[in-house]
Structure 1
């Protein structure tokens, strides 16, 4: 027979009651034997009490529901049920405990519990028929006790099954929450990696190109052109440093809005010598993905304007609801192959970022060079 492991729920109170109760029933059975020697019902009740005590000891030792556990429960059920009628239902107490042990625990298949209860009922009927001292009161009392115990055990089983289901559901929710947190952490790491790539690769790549050119011109004895390139390299380094600072500031400003980040970038653009006409209208968006995409798109487009159209008046327009729209137009801008001219991801990375945020970016390479970004608010 395949066995089912019973969960260890033997608290100190349960263990004490599982020892005191069978001892008490056993004492009552011994007293009955003293009054009427050879009383078969009392002997059966005593045997059932011993089986109950043995079952408690096995449960305390966390023994599996194997042959030993089932044997002790069978003794409780059969002997206790046979003794019920002739002991005024006192001998039936061990059988009650046995029915609860088999039926009340969801870890034991219900079919086995009902078979055990059926065996107890059969033994109870045999005891009622065979007992010479059984009266109508004993019969009614035994049957009523059996019915109440069975119903109580089934109710307890349902309660425990519901409790286990709730616990399992809670564990699943905790697991799902942990998985979501892990995914969020991975997405955040990917976003940070993308930001660092855009900031550092874009700036440092252009800086490396300028310094290589400086080195070549110095070797060729062209000091003045080398000096000009060195100045441009310094400007690129300053721009890269400013972009890195803005990236760090973005991480420190979780409550930023599309309007606040655009206004900050406009101030930076003007402080670096760029000219710009701006129109900011509508309700600002606080959606993190939209704010981040607008920040990076504005940063990319203004940086390109300073590099490829220095001195030109850039026009920027930002509108809010029902969707966030960013339009940046640069007159006479030179489009450098889609990479922003700095070896970075440029417009390609801008499109990818906007698409990841649920929006779209379109480019009009005419004069003025115009990029339009649309994002959910």
Structure 2
């Protein structure tokens, strides 16, 4: 697209103060203080300023400052007509100051408006506005045309130099932001590649090993079942079946970890419903479901799994409810049981997998969240509540 320098606004990066060095900020503040000081000095150095006229003069200075602030904000948001209206108000204040005997204030306002409109407005609007203002200034004040013209050209050049400088600074700031985004994307791509490599290694080594163990354990179970019944045979069969169950669970956990590493995890609500189906638990989802970071999703899944394991161990036969709540900036999981024949744990018990609720609490804290587990006040049962930012 061909650029249109006459009709385009300066970029928002150029109009804002982002990217300014400390020296530039101090210089800008010094210029503003100088302008404000000139306005105040020119106002109160006049002999005819006293009483109500002094109050009116102070009110005028504050009104000019408010209009200048409004002009900065409207140009920053690229609002043309409010910016032009505020600029005309400032020019009107300059004419009013000249007519009431505040010549220095009028000159400061005229010069400031000329430089600022060239710097912050589209040139097709800024040039006619500034020319009209200086034409009116020449006619009303009776200044010489040549000196006014020279002053006008000088102010135009100064405003245009400031405009070019601001555009260069804005472009540099924009390029820096793009470079940072590119570096972040490159780092994320490298992390995804590394996670994919780890997933392949786990699949090639651990998953294949567990699959082979399942095959051998199933063969051992079938062979043992062919032996005559007896205490020794039944004990061996029980151990083989338990080992097969553990290998099957380990393989399922490995596949889940592989899915997390590859970013192919099933929706969290669907996983909780599938997990709860075995125990007949009720699952509720509140809020609008949304994709979660892999670490957060994995933590929620692990806590839900561990909580259901503890229910089976310590409260068999209890009614279980699972609530997943999506908040504005977090996600909350609540697993609650009604109590059963087993003893409710007093603390945070470790599961058979060796990764109990205590480990989940530590993992939640690493993500900036919290995990609470304990009995339900004035009721039977046990409750686990996880909250993590997301």
Smaller-chain TM-score range? 0.3 to 0.5
- TM value normalised by structure 2: 0.41
Q: Answer with 1 or 2: which has the greater Rg.
A: 1
